Structure 1
Amino acid sequence: MNFKTALLAGAVGAVLTAAPALAQEAAAPAQETAAPAQQSLQLTPGATVRGPDGALGQLEGVQANAEGGQELTVRGADGQLRAVPLGGIRQEGADVVVAYTKAEYDAAAPIAGAAPAPAATPAPSSDPAADPTTADPSSTMTDPADPATTADPMAPPTDSTQPQG
C-alpha cells in the first residue's frame, strides 16, 4: 500500500466516523421545536397556590381524582381543603400558579373527610401571673438560711441534755 492510498483511507475513515455525529447535530434543532422542554416543579407543602386572579390558599399535597389524574389539595383562608386541577400549572419562585380562578376555587366542594386546619399556636399572654414561665422568680424562692444560726455539718453532734462546760 502506498502513501496516497493510506492517506485517502484515513480521510474516508474520519469522514465516516464523524458522519453520524454531524447528522445528529443537523437534526437536533428540528427535535427541539417539535417537543417543548419539560419543566420541573417543586411542590412543597405550605407553598402559596395562586390563580390568575389571586391567592387560592396553601398547598397541602397532591391526590388522584375520580378520572385517575392528579390534582392539588389546597387549604383556603376559610380552613377548607379543596381540590385544584393541574391545568396551566407552573412555578413562580416559591409559589405554584394554576389556571384556576378564585371564584372556581370558592365554588368547589370541600374534600370530604379531610382533616381540619391545624389550630394556630396561641399568642403568649401579656399577664406574667398567668404564665408560670414568666412569673416573678422572687415569689417562689425562699430566703437563704442565716449561716450564724445553722449548724455546722462537720461539727460533732451536741447533746442538749448535758451541761456545756
Structure 2
Amino acid sequence: MTIKTVLLAGAAAAFMTAAPAMAQETTPAPAAAPAAAASSQQSLSLNPGSSVAGPDGELGKLEGVQSNAEGKQELTVRGADGQLRAVPLSGIRQEGTGVVVAYTKAEFDAAAPIAGAPPAPAATPAPAPTSDPMAAPTTEPTDPAMTEPATPAPDAATPAPTEPQ
C-alpha cells in the first residue's frame, strides 16, 4: 500500500506543477516587437576619417564623438571648408564604411563651428628638392651626347685584364 501512495503522490505533484503552465493563454507576440528589439541591438562602426552624409549629400569626414551641453552625444565632423561642426545622432545608420544622419547639408553649413577645435591637419607637402650636388638627378638628360657611357662593374667571376709585359 505504501507504493500506491507514493505513486499517487508523485502523480499529484506532477499535475500541480504543470497546471499553472497549462492554464496560461498562448497569444502570438506582436510582429513589431522582434523588429524593434533587432534594431535596438544594431551596432555602428564609427571610425575617424570615414565619411558622414546627410539625406542630400556628404557633410564631411568624421573626427569623433562628443557630448553637448544637454548631455546628448553628437558627432564631430570636419566639413570641406576645414571647420569642425557638431552633428546630432538623429536617424544615424551605417552605410558601407561611412554613416548617414538625418542632418541636411544646409543645416550643417549653417551650424556654428566648434569653439576651440584644432585646425584641420595640413596636407603633407611634397618633398623639397635637395641642393646636394651628389644627389641622383630626378630626370634623365634627353641629349644622348650628354650622357656618359655606362661601364659595368668588374665581376668577381671574370679575371681582371692584365697588361702585356
Please indicate the TM-score interval, normalised by the length of the shorter structure. Answer: 0.5 to 0.7
* CA-to-aligned-CA distance 1:23-58 (integer Å, 9 cap, x gap): 6xx578349628822122222111111100111011
Distance 2:116 2:75 in 1: 16
Deviation at 1:93, TM superposition (A): 2.0
Distance 1:135 1:56 in 2: 45
Distance 1:62 1:11 in 2: 57
Number of residue equivalences: 130
1:135 alignment partner AA: A
Deviation at 1:5, TM superposition (A): 2.4
- Check if 1:57 corresponds to 2:92: no
Dislocated runs of 4+, deviation >4 Å? none
* CA-to-aligned-CA distance 1:56-104 (integer Å, 9 cap, x gap): 0111111111222111100011111001111111111211110000111
Residues 32/16 of structure 1: CA separation in 2 closer, same or farther (3 Å cut): farther
Distance 1:131 1:52 in 2: 52
- Check if 1:85 corresponds to 2:117: no
Which residue is equivalent to 1:12? 15
2:60 alignment partner AA: G
**Partner SS for 1:36:** helix
Question: What TM-score results when the alignment is normalised by the length of structure 1?
Answer: 0.62
Structure 2: gaps of 5 or more residues: 138-165
Alignment of 1:1-165 (within 5 A): 1-2=3-4, 5=8, 8-9=11-12, 11-12=14-15, 15=18, 19=21, 26=26, 29-30=29-30, 33=33, 36-37=36-37, 38=40, 39-124=42-127, 130=130, 135-136=135-136
Question: What TM-score results when the alignment is normalised by the length of structure 2?
Answer: 0.62
Residues 45/28 of structure 1: CA separation in 2 closer, same or farther (3 Å cut): farther
CA RMSD of aligned residues (A): 3.6
Q: Percent identity?
A: 62
Deviation at 1:109, TM superposition (A): 1.1
